[in-house]
Structure 1
Amino acid sequence: MSIPNAPGAKGDLVQGFKPRHVTMLSIAGIIGAGLFVGSGHAIAAAGPGAIIAYALSGLLVVLVMRMLGEMAVANPDTGSFSAYADQAIGRWAGFTIGWLYWWFWVLVIPIEAIAAGEIFHSWFPQVQVWTFALVMTLLLTITNLFSVAKYGEFEFWFAMLKVTAIVLFITLGAMALFGVLPQHPVSGLPTLLREHGGFLPNGWSAIFTALITTLFSFIGTEAVTIAAAESDDPSRNIAKATRSVIWRISVFYLLSIMVIISVVPWNDPQLTASGSYQRALELMNVPHAKLMMDIVVLVAVASCLNSSIYIASRMIYSLSRRADAPAFIQRTSATGVPRAAVIASTVIGMLTTLLNFFAPARIFDFLLASSGSIALLVYLAIAISQLRMRATLERRDQALACRMWLFPWLTWAVILFISGVLVTMFIMPSHRIEVSSTLLLTAAIILLSRTSRRPNGPLRSLDPLRSAG
């Protein structure tokens, strides 16, 4: 099978990402508003021991990415894990995971748009939040309607700014902690542990509460396999991205969280009110901390909004290629952009944005709850798919370029761990509605997959970049 010669030929995507785009996307893909804002809630729940929750979550993501990398390097596909679940488990699994993942990212659109709108509203209070949210969504939708290279360029610079901000934060924090900046004195971790109840002030059980928060901070890491499928050398780029995930998590998450817990007392009321990074900068006496973090969070939000439109559009495009979504969704422009998929995803995102402002709050809350456990179901599908695909991949290619470590034991460990987390979340009253809503949505989609039928005849390749010829 060969790559399409003409851009957009026969509804195919094109390889528009440059190597630097994929590299930066893989590096900064896990840096979102959840890190800058949500980390404060994890630390407030578990104290300094939140670093254990981040380490466990990071380890899980590393293992999941390794499993996904094994499949994606051997068979790059824009549908990624949805396509692999289709092949390894069955059509119903690929159908279900694909639509669940699409729904997750469609709901991210209003969340990030509203977050951006609130920042702009704080600067320009005479303009309503929903106006800023819709304008932001519309502008980033336009960037996604051009070529994939344009999206890659926007996201490259968004990612560069996020990486720069994190590196500067870690550097400044380290200098303050080691006394290199005497004008920025901080207490340090030993003092904070002694004065605020130790490493685990709320006990070991609080680690699980923090774990739930941290797990969802990492969602999006797997999306690099979707983006890399539109690059010049998808197998090489995917292998590179999955291998670098360890140091990315170590640097951007673990080191920056270590700086925060070494500077900010876990029971500081401003930790969750103003955000952990902002509070750390304030305690380091950094001037204009709020303005700086508002700008950083705005960049992170814009990046996540931009990516959510891209990811949602590519997933529903892949579903359409497999006859699991309306046929018109797979149409592409002359530059190889699935514009129908972009517009369809964005329209739903805009409607949910308006629901947040003009419909009863319980409606939007229910929609958000329905996506609460999707990330864990995606990880579970990846693990099960890799478990079942290994034999097929080895028959196809005896020398797999990217292999899961200690197969099948680590794969089974991941499956059991994720299953245990889901069961525990269901038992916990504070998370039961999330799991129940997600499972209800999942059951409805599975039923839909059983009642719908693909057209007779062979399906087009699950890899749209290699389907022509």
Structure 2
Amino acid sequence: MAEPDGVTTGATEHQLHRRLTGRQLTMIGLGGAIGTGLFLGSALAISQAGPATIIAFVVVALVALVIAWALAEMVTVHPTAGAFGTIAHSYMGRWAGFVTRWTYWTIQVIAVGGEVIAAGIYVQYWWPTVPLWLAVVVFSVALIVVNAATVRFFGEFEYWLSMIKVSAIVVFILLGILLITVGLPGAPATGVDNLTSDGGFFPMGLSGVFLAMVFVVFSFIGTEVVSVTAAEAENPTRDVPRAARQMVVRLAIFYVLAIAVVLTIAPWSQTAQGGSLDASPFVRVLDAAQVPGGASLMNFVILTAALSSANTNLYLTTRMLHSLAGHGYAPAALGKVSRSGAPRNALVLSTAGLAIAAALSVNQGADAYLALFGISVFGALVVWMMILASHARFRLLRRQHGLPDSPARMWGAPVTTGLAFLFLGAVLVSTAFIDGLQIAWKVGIPFFALLVIAYFVTASRRGDSASNDPLRDELALSGRGASRGGAGEPEAATGRPDDA
């Protein structure tokens, strides 16, 4: 049926609306990634590696590019709700789709809570007496209102929030270069001595660089958001690959240059302050450089960055629940969308992270951010590894069944895919050796154990249905999937054994 604004979607009460434009996709991707990982969590990375944090950002940027490109290759062929979760369901088995989507939903719910806590910390920069919980509650209500509106309104709102922080990063980099080279009024040129003084460029050695990558990885979480928007993009085949590549390249440039400026303007020990999270390193640098009004303005920018990231992550969680409901792995009511195209029932459940953040902010204050950080980064690394495993399976099965290649094939695969997978596995192991992040393993292992049990319980109750399987549908259309029980049997089509 014809939707408003001339968009034809054939929408039902469970179908998302295709109303996101190419420019919105790119900015939503940036909005999902540029958040507290860069502006607040970078203090943790700097405390581990000092000036060599720059190298950590370069390496992780390359890994993020592999993940974004792999996703673009897959969702260009299958622009479905649930994105990489649905693709894992098709190519690796129903268990993989279940685990990937519920893990992603959980970590993003937690990430949303972490972002609003960070936003409250930023508010306390101006008004230290404002209770953290009050700021968290106010911001949470605002985010719920935006996500309950039409997807076009969400896209436009997120576009401008992302534009603010992207523009601010560009201005920060330009001002930083001026301050380093020629100085600013009232602030003499700093030069580049801070990169090699105070212990040298590698004050913690190469091991420090590797440990810093744990925190740097968190700065790039969100690069997968473009793939999730594919089900609501006006032209996913054209816009998703372009948006994914542009987003990661821009992120890499912004992050590397911004961190280089931060570490050049002020000594790294002063910027990190032992990994303290009472203020952003970007604000501390401008404070140290005595740029008039600069610190306050930057604090406003990173406040909008945290809210933008939380806004995008809340969007992601609702779409993952919508996808799970479509496969019968969540209550059917969570798959329904409103007339505006928003899965509001899924949104209500996804606000759990905001409730957790409000509760933690009452008793734990800024320490709550590190706790939420550790849990979410553990799950995010697992999800990224599942994406790369799905990509390897995607390539293999499509070749076996003679299906056409994606128009967005990733360079160097499967070698690039394998190397990125091994890197993420090593980073995941290293979280066990970082103070404050041990909670990731303490919570992560029991969580996955419960998730596997939940899958088998759910699968046994729901039967052997294989609905909404994009690979099965493609094989049926091509006439290649009817070796056992007809095209409706994905196991016969893909060569996978029954997993339920």
Tell me, yes or no, whether TM beats 0.5: yes
Structure 2 equivalent of residue 398 of structure 1: 404
Q: 1:295 offset after TM fit, Å?
A: 0.5
Structure 2 equivalent of residue 17 of structure 1: 20
Structure 1 CA distance for aligned equivalents of residues 199 and 120 of structure 2: 38
Match of 1:149 among 144, 147, 152: 152
Unaligned runs of 5+ in 2: 475-500
Question: Does residue 285 of structure 2 align to residue 277 of structure 1?
Answer: no
Structure 2 CA distance for aligned equivalents of residues 428 and 357 of structure 1: 23
Give the letter for the 2:391 counterpart: Q
Structure 2 equivalent of residue 351 of structure 1: 355
Structure 2 equivalent of residue 434 of structure 1: 440
Give the letter for the 1:298 counterpart: L
Structure 1 CA distance for aligned equivalents of residues 434 and 126 of structure 2: 39
Q: 1:19 offset after TM fit, Å?
A: 2.4
Q: 1:20 offset after TM fit, Å?
A: 2.1
Match of 2:253 among 241, 251, 254: 251
Secondary structure at the counterpart of residue 219 of structure 2: coil
Rate the CA distance shift 1:68–1:244 in 2: closer, same or farther, 3 A: same
Structure 2 CA distance for aligned equivalents of residues 193 and 6 of structure 1: 54
Give the letter for the 1:398 counterpart: P
Unaligned runs of 5+ in 1: none
Structure 2 CA distance for aligned equivalents of residues 223 and 333 of structure 1: 22
Structure 1 equivalent of residue 394 of structure 2: 389
Question: Does residue 81 of structure 2 align to residue 49 of structure 1?
Answer: no
Is the 8 Å Cα contact of residues 106 and 349 (structure 1) preserved in structure 2?
yes
Structure 2 CA distance for aligned equivalents of residues 283 and 58 of structure 1: 28
Secondary structure at the counterpart of residue 189 of structure 2: coil
Rate the CA distance shift 1:209–1:458 in 2: closer, same or farther, 3 A: closer
Structure 2 equivalent of residue 217 of structure 1: 219
Q: 1:85 offset after TM fit, Å?
A: 1.2
Q: Deviations over 1:116-165 (max 9, x none)?
A: 23333554566532222112111211111111011111101100100110
Q: 1:458 offset after TM fit, Å?
A: 4.5
Structure 2 CA distance for aligned equivalents of residues 360 and 295 of structure 1: 24
Rate the CA distance shift 1:14–1:50 in 2: closer, same or farther, 3 A: same
Pick which of 399-408 and 93-102 moved more: 399-408
Structure 1 equivalent of residue 322 of structure 2: 317
Taking structure 2 as the reference length, the TM-score comes to 0.85
Matched ranges for 1:75-94 at <5 A: 75-94=78-97
Rate the CA distance shift 1:254–1:89 in 2: closer, same or farther, 3 A: same
Match of 1:459 among 464, 467, 479: 467
Secondary structure at the counterpart of residue 11 of structure 1: coil
Is the 8 Å Cα contact of residues 42 and 281 (structure 2) preserved in structure 1?
yes
Structure 1 CA distance for aligned equivalents of residues 457 and 53 of structure 2: 45
Rate the CA distance shift 1:27–1:438 in 2: closer, same or farther, 3 A: same
Highest RCO, 1 vs 2 (Cα 8 Å, sep ≥ 6): 1
Question: Does residue 169 of structure 2 align to residue 169 of structure 1?
Answer: no
Taking structure 1 as the reference length, the TM-score comes to 0.90
Structure 1 equivalent of residue 138 of structure 2: 135
Structure 2 CA distance for aligned equivalents of residues 283 and 161 of structure 1: 24
Structure 2 CA distance for aligned equivalents of residues 388 and 183 of structure 1: 58
Q: 1:341 offset after TM fit, Å?
A: 0.7
Structure 2 CA distance for aligned equivalents of residues 187 and 364 of structure 1: 32
Is the 8 Å Cα contact of residues 77 and 229 (structure 1) preserved in structure 2?
yes
Rate the CA distance shift 1:433–1:243 in 2: closer, same or farther, 3 A: same
Q: 1:353 offset after TM fit, Å?
A: 2.5
Rate the CA distance shift 1:127–1:292 in 2: closer, same or farther, 3 A: same
Rate the CA distance shift 1:366–1:21 in 2: closer, same or farther, 3 A: closer
Structure 1 equivalent of residue 336 of structure 2: 331
Structure 1 equivalent of residue 479 of structure 2: none
Structure 2 CA distance for aligned equivalents of residues 363 and 289 of structure 1: 28
Match of 1:232 among 228, 231, 234: 234
Q: 1:174 offset after TM fit, Å?
A: 1.2
Is the 8 Å Cα contact of residues 70 and 402 (structure 1) preserved in structure 2?
yes
Structure 1 CA distance for aligned equivalents of residues 435 and 256 of structure 2: 29
Percent identity between the two aligned chains: 33
Structure 2 CA distance for aligned equivalents of residues 429 and 278 of structure 1: 25
Is the 8 Å Cα contact of residues 45 and 213 (structure 2) preserved in structure 1?
yes
Q: 1:412 offset after TM fit, Å?
A: 1.6
Pick which of 14-23 and 329-338 moved more: 14-23
Structure 2 CA distance for aligned equivalents of residues 460 and 423 of structure 1: 35
Q: 1:214 offset after TM fit, Å?
A: 0.5
Q: 1:45 offset after TM fit, Å?
A: 1.8
Rate the CA distance shift 1:119–1:440 in 2: closer, same or farther, 3 A: same
Question: Does residue 380 of structure 2 align to residue 375 of structure 1?
Answer: yes
RMSD: 2.7
Q: 1:80 offset after TM fit, Å?
A: 1.4
Is the 8 Å Cα contact of residues 355 and 364 (structure 1) preserved in structure 2?
no
Pick which of 55-64 and 433-442 moved more: 433-442
Is the 8 Å Cα contact of residues 148 and 342 (structure 2) preserved in structure 1?
yes
Secondary structure at the counterpart of residue 113 of structure 2: helix
Structure 1 CA distance for aligned equivalents of residues 38 and 125 of structure 2: 21
Structure 2 equivalent of residue 207 of structure 1: 209
Q: 1:269 offset after TM fit, Å?
A: 5.8
Q: Deviations over 1:350-408 (max 9, x none)?
A: 33134314578999987765434111101100111011111334556534211122222
Q: Deviations over 1:170-225 (max 9, x none)?
A: 11111222216464323222x22453222112211111121111111110111111
Structure 2 CA distance for aligned equivalents of residues 133 and 431 of structure 1: 23
Q: Deviations over 1:258-287 (max 9, x none)?
A: 111211111216655532212222343311
Rate the CA distance shift 1:278–1:241 in 2: closer, same or farther, 3 A: same
Q: Deviations over 1:231-272 (max 9, x none)?
A: 100121111022224421332101111111211111216655
Structure 1 CA distance for aligned equivalents of residues 369 and 248 of structure 2: 35
Is the 8 Å Cα contact of residues 211 and 434 (structure 2) preserved in structure 1?
no
Secondary structure at the counterpart of residue 406 of structure 2: coil
Is the 8 Å Cα contact of residues 170 and 255 (structure 1) preserved in structure 2?
yes
Matched ranges for 1:75-114 at <5 A: 75-114=78-117
Q: 1:452 offset after TM fit, Å?
A: 1.2
Secondary structure at the counterpart of residue 371 of structure 1: helix
Rate the CA distance shift 1:181–1:244 in 2: closer, same or farther, 3 A: same
Structure 2 CA distance for aligned equivalents of residues 115 and 136 of structure 1: 11
